[in-house]
Structure 1
Amino acid sequence: MKPLDPRLLQHARAARGYLALTVALGLVTTALIVAQALLLARALGRAVAHGADLGEILPAVVALVGVVLARTLVTAVQERYAHRAATRAVAELRESVVAHAVARGPRLLAGGEGPAVVTLATRGLDALEPYFVRYLPQLVLAATVTPATVLVVLGLDWVSAAIVVGTIPLVPVFMILVGRLTQGRSEQGLRTMQRLSAQVLDLLAGLPTLRAFGRERGPAARVQALGDAHRRATMGTLRIAFLSGMVLELLTTLSVALVAVGIGLRLVDGQLDLVTGLAVLILAPEVFAPLRQVGAHFHASTDGVAAAEQAFAVLETPLPTVGATPAPDLRSTTLRLRGVSVRARDHAAPAALDLEVTPGRVLALVGPSGAGKSTTVEVLLGLLRPDAGAVTLVPQTGPAIDLADVDLTGFWAQITWLPQRPVLEPGTVADVVGGTDAAARDVAASLTGLDLVLAGLPDAWDTVLGRGGAGLSVGQRQRVALTRALLADAPLVVLDEPTAHLDALGEQVVLDTVHAMRAAGRTVVLVAHRATLAATADDVVTVRPGPLPDGAADAGAGREDVPDALAGAPTGPEVRA
């Protein structure tokens, strides 16, 4: 990333105001530095060369104290707003990255890029704080203080100014040489951290299965190896940072020493007065200080800069066009799939699928594992566009509408989706289930068997659940999700393998819930593995994999994008259930 990438100002609005404030404070700091040097040189020069007493130099001393206090105040303001701006800018970038990644669809998040996006949106972007708090202010000071102090030195002593101008270019040259190496190591460290995060996330997700087979300790060596690689990359970056800091300190110290030697020789020969010599000597370190600090803080910001580059890569990925046609009423609309195929590596799953979701009926999707049943659900919900075929909405009156042309926000508002792993927010059981009618909640709970669960909870409906339903078993969470789906007034309900984690009693609860939904005139789509669940459906469609249709083989790994409306939709097709 450039020292100040315009894309950062484009995607993080908080950075714009902070940059303007930093420039203003940089100009004020420049004036204070020059005033401090001149006042200090005048006070010391008059006291040493002319024997002035305290009363004569008191005005200069008072002014000097005021300048020092003003510099302290400016620094405090800079620090205060730097942390605020960093927090807001990182939050804006994180929100944009997550929304854009979600808008690209489930194929991205379920594939190899998903864990990388998770790492980027969490620890990766947090590393941008040193860039805002330390590096950017020093960069502004280098662009304001350094040239201003050089001009002042030139006005006081052209010989010292020539020495300063001759040695200044050495600082950015060494910064560029060392910075490029550090940047490469920072990018390597971020990639290693992303691989480590992906490995740990996969391990946590599959830990129950690994424990069932006694293989939970198998990935430990791989995780340790990735952790060691990340540690080595981080320590390598720190090593370069320390060495480059030493080089910059030595270089600037020698440059100031050259100026001091020249001033000392000319003071001895009487070619320079003491006040001017002191002023130049005080200003000389201030010329190099911002450049030295830029080099020192650059290494602390490289991790954040590397993360910002990846964030921009995600944000600049093009998204498909957004449908604008209002969604029809799903209570009287048929969802129709014709010849739908979705690429899954080297084959299609599903392949050439035809089905109709008729209002008021229960449709079951059956087929072997990997046939594409859950993928079919994603196509029906508009979360995934097929590589071949068409998905249309056919209202009772009016022409058919292609789902790609429909405003998905209004479409999702009419759908309740219960995935294989229910998503439950923190809160009381009553809040999670929803609904304002307590009597209706009790009726729904008795139908889904949630009333038995409530009887065993300490506070019944007022029992507080943790994130993801922590505090309940898998079967109990399923009953909470079924109750919420039953209470929702959405005309279309999608249940993805609702009996996967339930025993025979729990399976009967699901069957009773489906019957109740059908009796209420709602449309239900089931992904069924068990014959008893498929038997309750009015229509059964077998989903099968097959060869890729002509033209889909070169279409890439399926369309993994979701219309941009998803980025602004708060819950999507009621994915909370």
Structure 2
Amino acid sequence: MKPLDPRLLRYARGTRVYLAATVALGVVLAALIVAQATLLAHGITAVFLDGADVRTLTPTLIALATVVAGRAAVAWAQETVAVRSSAAVKSELRGRLLAHLVAVGPARGGDTGAVTTLITRGLDALDAYFARYLPQLVLAALVPAVVLARLLPADLTATMTIALTLPLIPIFMALVGLHTEAANHRQFRLLSRLSHHFLDVVAGLTTLKVFGRAGAQAATIRRISAEQRRLTMRTLRVAFLSSLVLELLATLSVALVAVGIGLRLVSGHLDLTTALLVLILAPEAYLPLRQVGAHYHASAEGLAAAEEAFAILETPVPARGAAPAPAGTIVFDDVVVRYRDRDALHLSATVEPGEIMALTGPSGCGKSTALDVLLGFVTPDHGRVTVGGVDLASVDPAAWRSTIAWVPQRPYLFAGSIRDNIALGRTPMHLPEPPTAFAHCFTGTVPDAPRPDVAAAARLAGAAGFIAGLPDGYDAALGDDGAGLSAGQRQRIALARAFLRDAPIVLLDEPTANLDTETAADVMAAIRRLAHGRTVIIAAHRPELIALADRIVDLAPQPVGAR
């Protein structure tokens, strides 16, 4: 069993209002429980000992009905407050997560599949935490205290018995909860891994089909799904067994109180009113603790997701400068980026204005990393990048990126019209393309770009021909990730964005990768037009693409001592 995580108060302000309302309602509910038990004890005693009739009991019955209605109203209020607060907290956490992921950049943002699972299904699991676990946790602290305070003047022996047996439930709950928490963490990590793997398979399904590997990946997904299913059933088994343990403890504790009450009542050392009061209130003292244990298992997945969210939110944001965007010669001054104790990039190079530089070398040598460093998505572990003599670390990233047009190896096209996808080139580039596109889909807005400008950019990129052949032309609707277009057509849409952006610096990351010879030639022609009068850095494998460059930098790892 865990108390309220203080990070929820720090990252979700709505939690504070919710917690205050829950405590207030819990106090009212505890008072109503005591009032109901007192009225019942007096009413039953009046009937059996005093022979009271309905007329005599009318005030007691009216008060009892009022208390019962009050308990129902408080329960409804707790449910309403919990649901609304849960929605507000989830919305605030999602907003903070998205903003933080944008701020830290793609290199520190984690796996796409895991983050997507966290922001969607993971945070949805907080409903059980707010709607069930937290209200019950507050009641578990308030109700036993109020019940014991009411029983203390009435029966010291029963009060001491309840006070001594109550801690047994939290102790066993904590022992079981440690195992349950570990199981839920394993389950959530496995679900994140499954989501990430499935996302990768879907993204590369066409390539897998071409090479006949789709069946093997389907078998892998089945294996991971079966493992997820087994782990889920194991977690449920632990939850059921722990609930049995808590119910057994509570039942034995109530029985212990009841036996003592019965013996003292028969011997004449206890009156009937007090005995009834104790017997009615004793289960109410144990009930909140039993319910906490039951609801904890339902909320454990939400707690695991919240901890994953906090881990992302606590990732430090890279230091950002405030200087305006510079212009001039780009210099990679002994730039080193390390990843898992090895050099992912080691680069010293100079790019003059209007020059085309090609970064070559085998896969994994750091070509894309060099572009990420220039974009500000990756911070060098050693060295620096200067533009016109100004260190990029001192420059405002948004201002710097506004001078860059970037065409990644796999450009992202969001679900919308072709015109809107090209118009995305007018967007200030604060983050890489997939989150940018997601942000526009989320807000329902697209950049404002005149139709003639969009058409001119498409024509320069060599995309106007196939767009004209579509039934709706520039208004043709695309699916997620450009579903409906070929790889070459998606690449030309990305180049059209770069033409529309009309930035002085162009970064191209393997723009002809995975394209056939004819399509690659069309894309190459568009790149020649795009490179005219601009500073261009290309990460390239193909010899014909490398041939466009004025300067070639080979990033292939050098033997020790060769640098």
Aligned to 2:373, which of 379, 383, 392? 379
In the other structure, the counterpart of 2:231 is 233
Q: How does 1:149-168 map to 2 (within 5 A)?
A: 149-168=147-166
SS of 1:441's equivalent? helix
Kept in 1: contact 2:462–2:526 (CA 8 A): no
In the TM superposition, what whole-angstrom CA distance separates every residue of 1:48-86 from its partner, at most 9, and x where no partner exists? 322222222222212222221221121112112212322
Between the aligned partners of 2:115 and 2:450, the Cα distance in structure 1 is 40
2:535 alignment counterpart: 523
Match of 1:351 among 341, 346, 349: 346
- In structure 2, what is the Cα distance between the partners aligned to 1:346 and 1:164? 58
* Matching residue's letter, 1:477: R
Contact 1:517 1:523 in 2 (8 A): no
CA pair 314-441 structure 1, distance change in 2 beyond 3 A: closer
3-state DSSP of counterpart to 1:351: strand
Q: 1:236 to 1:507 in 2, by over 3 A?
A: closer
SS at match of 1:218: helix
- 2:318 is the counterpart of 1:306: no
The percentage of aligned residue pairs carrying the same residue is: 51
Relative to the length of structure 2, the TM-score reads 0.87
Go from structure 1 to structure 2 and tell me whether the alpha carbon gap of 1:19 and 1:507 turns closer, same or farther (over 3 Å shift): same
Would the alpha carbon gap of residues 490 and 3 (structure 1) be closer, same or farther in structure 2, given more than 3 Å must change? Answer: same
Describe the shift of the 1:20–1:317 C-alpha distance in structure 2 as closer, same or farther (beyond 3 A): same
Deviation at 1:2, TM superposition (A): 3.9
Moved more, 289-298 or 333-342: 333-342
| Superimposed CA distance per residue, residues 14-63 of structure 1 (whole angstroms, 9 cap, x where no aligned partner) | 22221111111111111111122122222332233222222222222122
1:207 aligns with 2:205: yes
In the alignment, the residues of structure 2 paired with residue 57 and residue 248 of structure 1 have an alpha-carbon distance, to the nearest angstrom, of 38
AA at the equivalent of 1:14: G
TM-score by length of 1: 0.85
Determine the structure 2 residue equivalent to 1:406.
Answer: 395
1:435-450 pair list within 5 angstroms:
436-450=449-463
* C-alpha spacing 1:513/1:118, structure 2 compared with 1 (3 Å): same
Q: Does the CA contact (< 8 Å) of 1:414 and 1:491 recur in 2?
A: yes
Give the match for residue 431 of structure 2. Answer: none
> Shift of residue 509 of structure 1?
3.9
* Residue 478 of structure 1: aligned partner: 491
In 2, the alpha carbon distance for the partners of 1:209 and 1:481 equals 20
Separation in structure 1 between the aligned mates of residue 200 and residue 164 of structure 2, nearest angstrom = 56
Q: Distance in 2 between matches of 1:185 and 1:418?
A: 43
User: How many Å separate the matches in 1 of 2:20 and 2:270?
Assistant: 40
1:488 aligns with 2:501: yes
The match for 2:411 is 422
CA contact (8 A) 2:357 2:551 kept: yes
Identify which of 121, 137, 149 aligns with 1:139: 137
Give the secondary structure class of the aligned counterpart of 1:337.
Answer: strand
CA displacement, residues 255-295 of structure 1 (integer Å, 9 cap, x when unaligned): 22233333334444444333333222221111111111111
Structure 1 residue 100 displacement after superposition: 4.2
User: Judging changes above 3 Å, is the alpha-carbon distance between structure 1 residues 357 and 369 closer, same or farther for their aligned structure 2 residues?
Assistant: farther
Alignment of 1:19-30 (within 5 A): 19-30=19-30
Q: Does residue 272 of the first structure (1) align with residue 276 of the second (2)?
A: no
8 Å contact 2:359–2:555 — kept in the other structure? Answer: no
Cα pair distance change 1:432/1:117, threshold 3 Å: closer
Residue 337 of structure 1 is matched in structure 2 by: 332
Moved more, 367-376 or 246-255: 367-376
SS in 2 for 1:3: coil
Q: Please say if residues 348 and 548 of structure 1, whose CA atoms lie closer than 8 Å, have aligned partners that are also in contact.
A: no
Report which stretch shifted further, 418-427 or 227-236.
227-236
Matched to 2:298, the amino acid is A
- Corresponding pairs, count: 538
SS across alignment from 1:404: helix
CA contact 1:534–1:540 (8 Å) conserved in 2 = no
Seen in structure 2, the aligned counterparts of structure 1 residues 549 and 462 have a Cα distance that, compared at 3 Å, is same
Unaligned runs of 5+ in 2: 424-447
| Structure 1 position 431 matched with structure 2 position 420 | yes
2: CA distance, partners of 1:57 / 1:518: 94
Cα distance change on mapping 1:333 and 1:77 into 2, 3 Å: farther
Q: Offset of 1:512 from its aligned partner?
A: 4.2
Q: CA deviation at 1:349?
A: 5.0
Distance 1:150 1:497, change over 3 A: same
Q: Structure 2: how far apart are the matches of 1:253 and 1:232?
A: 32
What is the CA–CA distance in structure 2 between the aligned matches of 1:548 and 1:2, rounded to whole Å?
54
Change (3 A) 1:371 1:11: same
Distance 1:236 1:153 in 2: 41
Quote the offset at 1:319 in angstroms: 3.9
Contact 1:350 1:543 in 2 (8 A): no
Tell me how far apart the structure 2 counterparts of residues 484 and 506 of structure 1 sit (CA, whole Å). Answer: 18
Cα distance in 1, alignment partners of residues 112 and 57 from structure 2:
67
The separation in 2 between residues aligned to 1:385 and 1:274, in whole angstroms, is 76
Q: 2:384 aligns with which of 368, 390, 397?
A: 390
Deviation at 1:149, TM superposition (A): 0.7
Residue number in structure 1 paired with 2:122:
124
Give 2:462's aligned amino acid. G
Instruction: Report the alpha carbon displacement of residue 139 of structure 1 after superposing the two structures with TM.
Output: 0.6
Q: Judge conservation of contact 1:422–1:481 (CA < 8 Å) in 2.
A: yes
Say if 1:368 and 1:224 are closer, same or farther in 2 by CA, change over 3 A.
closer
Aligned partners of 1:141 and 1:290 also within 8 Å:
yes
Letter of the aligned partner of 2:510 in structure 1?
E
Give the Å deviation of 1:414.
2.3
Instruction: Check conservation: 1:347, 1:547, Cα contact below 8 A.
Output: no
User: Does 2:527 match 1:533?
Assistant: no
Contact 1:185–1:237 (Cα < 8 Å) also in 2 = yes
Deviations 1:167-208 (A, max 9, x none): 212211221222222222222323333333344344334433
Aligned to 2:555: 544
Distance 1:432 1:88 in 2: 32
> Aligned partners of 1:532 and 1:196: how far apart in 2?
39
